[in-house]
Amino acid sequence: MRTVLFAIFVFLSWATPVQASPSPEVLRIWNDVKTAYLAGKFDQLDELIEAYQRDDARTKSGSIKAAIVYEVLESTKFLYGTYSYGTLNQMEAQADKWIESYPGSRAARITKAIVMNNRAWNARGEGYANTVTPEQWNAFFVYSRQAKDYLQSVKQGTAADPEWYATMLKVARGLPSSDIDFDALASEALDAHPDYIPIYREIVRTNLPQWGGTRQTLEFWIDRMAKASGTDASYARAYWGAADDFYRDVIFNDTDADWSRVRTGFRAIVHDYPTNWNINIFARLACLAQDKATTKELMERLGNAIDAEAWLYREMPASCREWASEPDPQNPPKMDEFVLVEAYGRDKDGIMQAMVGPMEQPSEAAAVAKAQILAKTYEGVQAYKLIPDPQTGNYKRPIILFRYGVIPYGR
């Protein structure tokens, strides 16, 4: 039974997480933008953004260079060394100087809105929602609404820059729907700028579980991105972002991501931007999707050119390479269907753990009945069915029969 669950809830338990650092190409843009902004060389920034947008300039890996400029202008800490009320004041004062010097600058107005939104999140604080005081919430909504109102007031002369939409979507995520209709804004953004990756990122983040999203809404919007752009490269990039932002190693278990579309999209990305980084990411996702043939192909293509920062854990590339290189059994054992029930509770440290099961049940009805009984005692319960996939030799995504309460992440 442990083997069955090991196969479904991914199949690796790596130990050492890694974090990506910017490439030299991106770091040069960061430093150039920082120098120009702090020195008040606003004409250089306007010319840089306009040139990048006119030429659809991309990095070697396909990132949008104009978007990188705005990433720098959003990072108060990178520009001023700390992220505080005081440095936000400095940042906004500089944005106001930009607007005063170049009243027609779209980038200047967007930068001011970015600072206003950053001020809202600074007022809220970094704690979980249940730790935020009423005073902090009040300040957050006041500043967020100021950012929204400002962006709406400059929309006519600014929304030709796709970052206007990315910024407004970011602001909208923190406001109730009575303030702004996020879905209508997202549709408008995709129609106006179907290839702008930061727009994808904001839509994906708003449809993650911590913002009330579901696997269905996430798939709807990512499919909408692909239709707007006319390519599954957008589909692949969006699920790549969802994996990095939240789902990590359960991206193909806890979402409705269609691996065949992700694979098609990544082949297009790697064709246009054949960097070592992109190939490493593609290989990582192929391994998580349990696509043995594609994983083997990509690991052979990479050879020793493994970029550890592209993987979730330092041990992951070697584990994926070893798994992909294993020969398929000539006479694979018959894989049975399973109907299972698990119940969860908190350990002494308050962490949700499996307390009961997985317990095999004789039928779906029996599993649901058992789960309903356990739900009277445990904080979280689920019943689910596992069905084998003969083509991959693994189990398909679990079919959830019953869910109650809090289910540990990744289950």
Q: What mean pLDDT do residues 76-90 have?
A: 94
What's residue 395's pLDDT? 77
Q: Mind listing the pLDDT tens digit for each residue in 55-74?
A: 999 999 999 999 999 999 99
Q: Say whether pLDDT at 3 is over 80.
A: no
- The stretch 376-387 carries a mean pLDDT of 90
Tell me: pLDDT of 216 over 50: yes
Task: Quote the pLDDT of residue 391.
Answer: 64
328 or 310, which is more confident: 310
Q: Tell me, letter by letter, the H, E, C secondary structure of the chain.
A: CHHHHHHHCCCCCCCCECCCCCCHHHHHHHHHHHHHHHCCCHHHHHHHHHHHHHHCCECCCCCEHHHHHHHHHHCHHHHHCCCCHHHHHHHHHHHHHHHHHCCCCHHHHHHHHHHHHHHHHHHHCCCCHHHCCHHHHHHHHHHHHHHHHHHHHCHHHHCCCHHHHHHHHHHHHCCCCCCCCHHHHHHHHHHHCCCCHHHHHHHHHHCCHHHCCCHHHHHHHHHHHHHHHCCHHHHHHHHHHHHHHHHHHHCCCCCCCCHHHHHHHHHHHHHHCCCHHHHHHHHHHHHHCCCHHHHHHHHHHHCCCCCHHHCCECCHHHHHHHHHHCCCCCCCCCCCCEEEEEEEEECCCCCEEEEEEEEECCCHHHHHHHHHHHCCCCCEEEEEEECEECCCCEECCCEEEEEEECCCCCC
> Is 50 exceeded by the pLDDT of residue 11?
no
pLDDT in tens, 239-255: 999 999 999 988 998 89
In the predicted model, is pLDDT for residue 330 greater than 80? no
At 332 the pLDDT is 66
Residue 289 pLDDT exceeds 70: yes
The answer to pTM > 0.75 is yes
Where does the pLDDT of residue 349 fall: very low under 50, low under 70, confident under 90, or very high at 90 and above? confident
What mean pLDDT do residues 206-224 have? 94
pLDDT the model gives residue 283: 98
- Per-residue pLDDT band for 6 (boundaries 50, 70, 90) equals very low
Model confidence at 14, pLDDT cuts 50, 70, 90, reads very low
User: What pLDDT shows up at residue 75?
Assistant: 94
